[in-house]
């Protein structure tokens, strides 16, 4: 898979504090990568640096291929949703015109709000407008810093569906979030950042590990702690040999949350 | 750059800044017209031909000098409000982040903000000054000797203040920067008044302090030079009285002032750009 974003040994210091200590990561084409970590881990510094919010600034060509939604952002209250997108189309050099703006507003569920002023929008609506703004010019890579922080459950689901749609379209996404369930649902890969360094990386299923096997029997449910998938035939055969009736077998895995707490503790 | 400037100008329009400024300027103009009318009426009996005093020139130059002071002050306030939060203020509010990740260099962003602030503040100063010239001429039948020279210098002073506020915005929060620039503006005016006193006494020390301060803060030197352009043709007793007053134009800045003011603005923007490039937002 070709890398859309490649970061190698990235260091960043704020005075004596190391915000990033040799971070190396890649985001592949149409790949959705989740970035997890506690407050102060360096997630926003990483996305900010990648998107040239951190100095020095990158090239115009690089900037045109990146869409970014900052954790802290605000659009001028006097602008309408459509005007915000027009401004960003001009800045990004996008030739999408009306059609692109309409499509993006539809995509984020603001199709009927094009003429609505930003200062009359809820925080959630502004956040969705922010995502639409980040998608101006069809960027190859989208960096989203806490895109669902102000959204209600329905809004979060809209963003999840949007992320899946972007993956179908071939857009790569680096998603910085605190919501582990979000990452577990939509991300192909997860990076856990702690104190400026990546402490765990892999697909959500790889980061979790076998915790045991749960078997439903006529006499009740039994859990075989520490057992793995390879142990299932033996467990079932032993139980049948012992006269038990087996109704279902389930592999137990630790959750992403458990793994996360383990590595950042 | 033009896009950023246009966006900032549209913000001024949509936030009704222009509407408020125009409404207050009309009130200012009306008050000024009333003051000018009363002044010209009062000074008409000041002198006979033998004294050599020209009461019309005395009244016109004095009140127009006052109008120039007022115009520049209001222009400075506009410049400060439009640029004080251009970098750190906008970064703290989150307005800056979506813009600077676009293919827009930070220097061009700053230049765009300066262009918008300069157009508004210098435009306002020019509008207010020309309005005052017109009112003075129509009411008192007195016209300054070099309208264009004064206009260029006064508007230039507003541009210099905009550049200073823009530079400060890279380092200071919007409130701190606004306070700092207005205090610097006040300090410059104070230095100018010291210079006028120094010319009147005369005191070389005061003149030197005023010169150093005015060239360090060239908006003040431009203002003083604009006053000189205003009354350049007033000679004799009338010229002496005007030039000795607080709104007098006794100080000749020389031919280097305008090139220095232009260089100063360019240096301020370059310095702001250099610092902005090194700043995380």
**Segment A105-122, tens digit of pLDDT:** 998 889 999 999 999 998
The DSSP H or E segment spanning A27 is strand A17-28
- Six-digit token string for A93: 């050099």
* φ/ψ of residue A109, rounded to 5: 75, 25
Reported as a pLDDT band with limits 50, 70 and 90, residue A251 is: confident
Report the candidate in A67, A17, A66, A63 with the shortest Cα–Cα distance to residue A42: A17
* Domain end marker among A204, A225, A253: A204
Residue A14 has pLDDT above 60, yes or no: yes
Scanning every residue of chain B, which has its alpha carbon at the shortest distance from the alpha carbon of A80?
B14
Residue B2 has pLDDT above 90, yes or no: no
Packing angle, helices B257-277 and B147-171, rounded to 10? 20
Residue B140 has pLDDT above 60, yes or no: yes
Report the candidate in B221, B190, B245 with the shortest Cα–Cα distance to residue B64: B245
* Domain end marker among A173, A204, A235: A204
Count CB-CB contacts under 10 A for residue B143: 14
Residue B261 has pLDDT above 90, yes or no: yes
> Mean pLDDT throughout B7-14?
79
Taking CB atoms and an 8 Å limit, are B3 and A68 in contact across chains? no
Domain positions in chain B: 2-277
* A64 has a chain B CB within 8 A of its CB: yes
Domain count across chain A: 2
pLDDT of residue B47: 61
Residue A238 has pLDDT above 60, yes or no: yes
Q: How far apart are CA A157 and CA A148, in angstroms?
A: 9
Report the candidate in B192, B214, B229 with the shortest Cα–Cα distance to residue B264: B214
Reported as a pLDDT band with limits 50, 70 and 90, residue A55 is: very low
A151 lies in the same domain as A227: no
> Mean pLDDT throughout B16-25?
82
pLDDT of residue A172: 92
Outline where A73-219 has alpha helix (H).
81-92, 97-107, 123-134, 153-169, 180-186, 204-207
Residue A124 has pLDDT above 60, yes or no: yes
Taking CB atoms and an 8 Å limit, are A72 and B14 in contact across chains? no
Q: How far apart are CA B102 and CA B100, in angstroms?
A: 5
- Six-digit token string for A65: 């291929």
CATH of the domain at A24: 3.40.50.300
Residue A72 C-alpha, separation from nearest chain B C-alpha, in angstroms: 5
Lowest mean pLDDT among A158-167, B40-49, B188-197, B263-272: B40-49
Sign of the four-CA dihedral B273, B277, B280, B281:
positive
A52 lies in the same domain as A126: yes
pLDDT of residue A118: 93
Q: Are B163 and B260 in contact (CB under 8 A)?
A: no
Of residues A253 and B237, which shows the higher confidence score? A253
A139 lies in the same domain as A43: yes
* A212 has a chain B CB within 8 A of its CB: no
A236 lies in the same domain as A124: no
Q: How far apart are the first and last CA of chain A?
A: 33
Reported as a pLDDT band with limits 50, 70 and 90, residue B52 is: low
Lowest mean pLDDT among A116-120, A180-184, B225-229: A180-184
Which one of B97, B112, B275, B277 makes the best mutation probe of the A interface by having the most chain A beta carbons within 10 Å? B97
- Six-digit token string for B263: 């260089």
Of residues B17 and B275, which shows the higher confidence score? B275
Q: How far is CA B33 from the centre of its chain?
A: 21
B277's CB contacts (< 8 A; 6+ apart) are: A55, A56, A57, B106, B107
* A91 has a chain B CB within 8 A of its CB: yes
pLDDT of residue A53: 54
Task: Enumerate the residues of chain A whose CB falls inside 8 A of the CB of residue B93.
Answer: 74
Taking CB atoms and an 8 Å limit, are B95 and A55 in contact across chains? no
Of residues B183 and A50, which shows the higher confidence score? B183
pLDDT of residue B252: 77
ipTM: 0.75
Out of A52, A72, A87, the one facing B101 most closely (by C-beta) is A52
Residue A119 C-alpha, separation from nearest chain B C-alpha, in angstroms: 12
- Six-digit token string for A55: 């100095």
> Mean pLDDT throughout B26-35?
91
Reported as a pLDDT band with limits 50, 70 and 90, residue B274 is: very high
* Domain end marker among A204, A227, A254: A204
Instruction: Render the burial of B75-95: b for 16+ CB within 10 Å, e for the rest.
Output: bbbbbbbbbbbbbbbbbeebb
Structural domain range at position A220: 208-264
Q: How far apart are CA B127 and CA B158, in angstroms?
A: 12
Average pLDDT taken over every residue of chain A: 87
Reported as a pLDDT band with limits 50, 70 and 90, residue B243 is: low
Residue A40 has pLDDT above 50, yes or no: yes
A30 lies in the same domain as A160: yes
pLDDT of residue B281: 74
Task: Enumerate the residues of chain A whose CB falls inside 8 A of the CB of residue B99.
Answer: 91
Residue A20 has pLDDT above 80, yes or no: yes
pLDDT of residue A208: 80
A48 lies in the same domain as A24: yes
> Mean pLDDT throughout B121-139?
94
């Amino acid at each position: 898979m070709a890398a859309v974003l490649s970061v190698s040994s990235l260091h960043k210091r704020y005075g004596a504090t190391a915000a990033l200590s040799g971070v190396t990561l890649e985001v592949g084409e149409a790949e959705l990568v989740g970035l997890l970590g506690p407050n102060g881990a360096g997630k926003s510094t990483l996305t900010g640096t990648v998107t040239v919010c951190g100095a020095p600034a990158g090239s115009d060509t690089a900037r045109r291929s990146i869409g970014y939604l900052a954790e802290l952002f605000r659009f001028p209250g006097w602008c309408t949703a459509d005007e915000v997108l027009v401004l960003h189309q001009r800045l990004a050099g996008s030739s999408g015109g009306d059609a692109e703006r309409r499509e993006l507003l539809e995509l984020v569920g603001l199709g009927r709000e094009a003429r609505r002023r930003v200062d009359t929008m809820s925080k959630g609506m502004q956040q969705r407008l922010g995502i639409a703004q980040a998608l101006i010019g069809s960027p190859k890579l989208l960096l989203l810093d806490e895109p669902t922080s102000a959204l209600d459950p329905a809004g979060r689901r809209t963003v999840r569906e949007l992320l899946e749609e972007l993956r179908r379209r071939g857009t790569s996404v680096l998603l910085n979030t605190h919501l582990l369930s979000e990452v577990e649902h939509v991300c192909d890969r997860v990076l856990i950042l702690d104190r400026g360094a990546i402490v765990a990386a892999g697909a959500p299923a790889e980061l979790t590990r076998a915790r045991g096997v749960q078997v439903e029997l006529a006499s009740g449910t039994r859990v075989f702690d520490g057992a793995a998938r390879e142990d299932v035939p033996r467990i079932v055969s032993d139980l049948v040999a012992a006269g038990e009736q087996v109704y279902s077998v389930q592999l137990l895995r630790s959750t992403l949350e458990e793994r996360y707490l383990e590595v950042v503790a | 750059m033009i896009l950023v400037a246009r966006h900032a100008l549209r913000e001024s329009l949509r936030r009704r800044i222009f509407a408020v400024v125009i409404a207050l300027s009309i009130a200012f103009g009306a008050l000024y017209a009333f003051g000018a009318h009363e002044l010209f009426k009062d000074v008409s009996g000041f002198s006979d031909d033998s004294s050599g005093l020209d009461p019309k020139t005395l009244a016109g130059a004095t009140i127009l000098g006052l109008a120039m002071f007022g115009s520049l002050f209001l222009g400075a306030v506009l410049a400060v409000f439009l640029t004080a939060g251009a970098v750190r203020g906008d970064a703290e509010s989150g307005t800056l982040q979506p813009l600077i990740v676009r293919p827009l260099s930070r220097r061009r962003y700053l230049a765009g903000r300066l262009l918008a602030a300069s157009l508004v503040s210098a435009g306002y100063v020019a509008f207010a000054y020309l309005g005052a010239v017109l009112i003075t001429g129509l009411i008192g039948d007195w016209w300054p000797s070099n309208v264009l020279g004064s206009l260029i210098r006064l508007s230039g002073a507003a541009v210099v203040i905009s550049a200073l506020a823009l530079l400060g915005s890279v380092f200071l929060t919007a409130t701190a920067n606004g306070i700092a620039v207005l205090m610097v503006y006040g300090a410059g005016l104070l230095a100018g008044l010291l210079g006028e006193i120094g010319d009147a006494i005369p005191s070389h020390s005061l003149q030197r302090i005023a010169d150093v301060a005015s060239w360090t803060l060239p908006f003040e030197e431009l203002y003083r030079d604009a006053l000189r352009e205003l009354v350049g043709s007033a000679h004799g007793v009338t010229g002496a009285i005007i030039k000795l007053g607080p709104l007098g134009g006794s100080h000749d800045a020389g031919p280097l002032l305008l090139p220095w003011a232009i260089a100063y603005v360019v240096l301020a923007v370059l310095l702001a750009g250099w610092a902005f490039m090194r700043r995380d937002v």
